[in-house]
Structures are given as structure tokens and as C-alpha cells.
């Protein structure tokens, strides 16, 4: 979707700081700069090459350290890997000034939200976020300003939320073409365990099942579209997913148990040559899958 050229820039924010300018952080930066939602976007990242590329791409206007960037920022986006977000926030605390809104983009909220609220000074408001969009590539090189177009964007305000902060974030989400959805942090973690973490885990497990066979070379050579589609997300970054699955451990294990329950039902029907039970299970899956709305734009690689 082409971004409309507004002759009046809609400056939602004066200074946005993005910590972690990877695929998501970079895409947020591009969305902000392309749609002129912020006067200034500053990138912070330990990887100097990544940061330089982000500047070159226009995902951020300039690079800086947390110390330099944070004072007087009106939005601070933690787009760091799930495992380091809390640590980066802790490092940031001394440099935060009142009026800053903070959000993250992590696939798991865990204890982040409650701990963030405890450590932040007065006048600084944290509201967790999670755009339901992504690609199997990582790094800013794959970033796109339209990544969030048509995507659901979860926000996890607590009972202590600041209404102005929430409103501004919801506005930002909409201006990026996404659809804000408010959920409690724990509800978020339970949901994403089902629709994101479990699928990733299953895709990886399927690949490993095939890889463990003596005939794996032949299997992979013959594998067609069905196998590829089902295992596409197994190509995702292993470190990132280790952190996600362990941070959301309880919800993920629960989702796996639910899956195993359904798998047992499927296995039983096949084992018993139970045509009726089997076709019922398959038809239910088909109907539900067909009901997934097709009218959203999905940015799938390939």
C-alpha cells in the first residue's frame, strides 16, 4: 500500500527513540519516518553496522546511545530481543524524563509489564505492545514500513495505565495501518502461546522428525508445498525463539498439552479405522481454517 503524501505531517511525537533496530524496530522506524509521524527518530543498538544501515535506509534519522537519546524523548520503543528488554529498560531508567511513553514489541510479556511499572519514575508511562506481524528474516535489512499494515497490534495496559499514553499509542498503531487490540499481559501470553509459539514449536519439531530419519535426504528432496508451508516458520532465528519459548514457558507447555490431547484424538481415529470420527476431525479443521478472514494483507516472504 502506498503511503499517502500528507503535505501536513501528522507529528504524533517529537522525538522517538528505538532501542534495537532490527526487523521490527527498523520497520517501526520506517513507518514513523515514511508517514512522518515523528519529527525525529533516534536509533540505539549495540551493533554498529546494523545501526549504520538503519540510518542509510532511513529507518532512523540518526544513531545515538541511550544516555544521549533518552532525555526529552516522548516515545521510547524497546524493540530488543525478549531476553534483554528488561535489562535495557533498567539501564535506561536514570536517563528517562517525565512525559516519556515507553512500549515494547516483545512476543512475550511475562513479568516485563509489572516490573517496568515498579522501576519507572513518576511521569513515565509503560504500556506493553506486540505487533502481530513479522517475517522469517531478521535484522534491519528486511525491515519494511508497511509491515504492520492490516496487522493486529496488541497493547497490554494494566489497571494503572495512563489514558493519554494509551490513546497516543493507539493512534500511532492506527496511523501505521494496524488494528489495536487491548489485552491483559497474561491473556496476551496465553493467546500468543497458542497462535504463535505453538506453531513455531510444531514446525521445528516436524522438521526434526524428518531430519532424524535415515532417509532424510530423500525425504527433503521429495518434500513439496505442503511440507514447506507447514515448516516455513522453522527457519526463524533459534536464539530468539529459545528466549521466547522459555520466557513463556508455562503457557507454552499448556498449549503443547492441549495439542497432544487433540493429536491423541486424531491418532485414535486412525488407529481404530474410525472413518466417521476421522472425517469429523478433519472437517472441523477445514471449516475453521477456511473461516480465517482472507481480506487482510499478509506480508509473507516468498
Write out the binding residues for a copy of itself, residues 74-133 only, by CB under 8 A. 132-133
For a copy of itself, which is the closer residue by CB, 142 or 199? 199
For a copy of itself, which is the closer residue by CB, 65 or 209? 209
Any contact of residue 299 with a copy of itself (CB under 8 A)?
yes
> Is there a contact between 128 and 89 (Cβ–Cβ < 8 Å)?
no
* Alpha-carbon gap, residue 112 to 110, rounded angstroms: 6
x-or-dash string of contact with a copy of itself, 249-278, rule CB under 8 A: x--xx-xx-xxxxxx-xxx--xx-x-x--x
Site for a copy of itself in 127-166 (CB under 8 A): 132-135, 151-152, 154
> Is there a contact between 33 and 11 (Cβ–Cβ < 8 Å)?
no
Q: For residue 192, what are the CA distances in angstroms to 135, 150, 244? A: 16, 18, 10
> Is there a contact between 189 and 162 (Cβ–Cβ < 8 Å)?
no
Any contact of residue 11 with a copy of itself (CB under 8 A)?
no
Out of 35, 61, 109, 200, the only residue in the binding site for a copy of itself (CB under 8 A) is: 200
Out of 3, 55, 166, 223, the only residue in the binding site for a copy of itself (CB under 8 A) is: 223
Q: Which of the stretches 56-64, 67-75, 166-174, 290-298 binds a copy of itself when contact is defined by CB under 8 A?
A: 290-298
Q: Which of the stretches 29-37, 72-80, 156-164, 211-219 binds a copy of itself when contact is defined by CB under 8 A?
A: 211-219
Closest-CA residue to 115 (of 154, 72, 75, 158): 158
Q: Which of the stretches 9-17, 19-27, 91-99, 288-296 binds a copy of itself when contact is defined by CB under 8 A?
A: 288-296
User: Which of 56-82 are b and which e, b meaning 16 or more Cβ less than 10 Å from the residue's Cβ?
Assistant: ebebbbebeebeebbeebbbbbbbbbb
Amino acid at each position: 500500500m502506498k503511503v499517502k503524501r500528507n503535505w501536513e505531517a501528522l507529528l504524533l511525537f517529537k522525538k522517538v527513540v528505538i532501542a534495537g533496530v532490527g526487523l521490527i524496530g527498523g520497520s517501526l522506524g520506517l513507518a514513523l519516518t515514511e508517514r512522518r509521524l515523528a519529527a525525529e527518530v533516534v536509533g540505539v543498538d549495540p551493533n554498529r553496522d546494523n545501526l549504520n544501515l538503519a540510518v542509510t535506509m532511513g529507518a532512523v534519522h540518526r544513531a545515538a546511545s541511550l544516555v544521549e537519546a533518552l532525555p526529552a524523548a516522548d516515545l521510547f520503543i524497546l524493540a530488543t530481543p525478549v531476553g534483554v528488554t528488561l535489562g535495557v529498560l533498567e539501564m535506561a531508567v536514570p536517563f528517562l524524563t517525565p512525559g516519556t511513553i515507553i512500549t515494547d514489541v516483545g512476543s512475550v510479556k511475562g513479568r516485563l509489564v509489572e516490573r517496568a511499572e515498579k522501576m519507572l519514575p513518576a511521569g513515565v508511562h509503560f504500556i506493553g505492545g506486540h505487533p502481530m506481524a513479522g517475517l522469517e528474516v531478521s535484522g534491519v535489512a528486511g525491515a519494511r514500513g508497511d509491515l504492520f499494515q492490516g496487522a493486529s497490534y496488541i497493547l497490554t495496559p494494566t489497571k494503572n495505565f495512563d489514558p493519554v499514553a494509551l490513546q497516543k499509542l493507539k493512534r500511532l498503531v492506527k496511523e501505521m495501518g494496524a488494528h489495536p487490540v487491548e489485552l491483559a499481559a497474561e491473556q496476551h501470553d496465553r493467546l500468543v502461546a497458542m497462535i504463535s509459539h505453538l506453531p513455531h514449536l510444531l514446525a521445528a519439531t516436524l522438521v526434526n522428525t524428518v531430519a532424524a530419519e535415515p532417509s532424510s535426504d530423500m525425504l527433503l528432496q521429495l518434500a513439496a508445498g505442503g511440507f514447506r508451508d507447514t515448516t516455513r516458520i522453522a527457519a526463524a532465528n533459534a536464539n530468539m525463539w529459545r528466549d521466547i519459548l522459555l520466557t513463556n514457558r508455562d503457557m507454552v507447555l499448556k498449549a503443547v498439552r492441549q495439542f497432544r490431547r487433540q493429536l491423541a484424538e486424531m491418532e485414535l481415529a486412525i488407529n481404530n479405522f474410525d472413518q466417521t470420527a476421522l472425517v469429523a476431525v478433519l472437517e472441523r479443521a477445514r471449516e475453521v481454517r477456511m473461516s480465517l478472514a482472507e481480506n487482510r494483507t499478509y506480508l509473507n516472504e516468498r
